[in-house]
Amino acid sequence: MNGFLAYLENDEAGITVAEETFTDLEEIGLNSESTLDDYAAAVMASNDTDYELNRTNNYIYFYYDSTVDGTDYHYMSVLLKGNDEFYLISFFCFAEDSEKYDTIFRDWADTIVVNDN
């Protein structure tokens, strides 16, 4: 799938990984000094919506639902910061499976490591 650093899916769930470098984000005022909260605000502005943001020690995450080609999906998006970029990682499943996957998605998100070399 175009536009993603990675895209994986099976019959039940999937993940997309998008990377946005500080250089790419300079035009909207973000840089290496920007925080995850700054990036979250930019993501919400880009999508013209407000998400209920949740925080852990390492990342910010939010949930949302969307219909794509007539199919309802549930998403958990994770925002992380590296040395030269921000990452937007979205886990997704069918909307009817959201209760099952919310905990699994958080467990998966907790395993993500961003190289800070």
pLDDT tens figures, 26-76: 999 999 999 999 999 999 999 899 999 999 989 999 999 999 999 999 999
Residue 117 lies in a domain: no
pLDDT tens figures, 6-24: 889 899 999 999 999 999 9
> Domain total for the chain?
1
Q: Please say whether the beta carbons of 96 and 13 come within 8 A.
A: no
Among 88, 86, 83, 93, residue whose Cα is nearest residue 115:
83
Residue 22 lies in a domain: yes
Model pTM?
A: 0.90
Residue 1 lies in a domain: no
Residue 116 lies in a domain: no
Residue 115 lies in a domain: no
User: Domain range holding 99?
Assistant: 6-110
CATH number, domain of 74, equals 3.40.1000.10
Q: Please say whether the beta carbons of 105 and 91 come within 8 A.
A: yes
Alpha-carbon span 70 to 60, nearest angstrom: 29
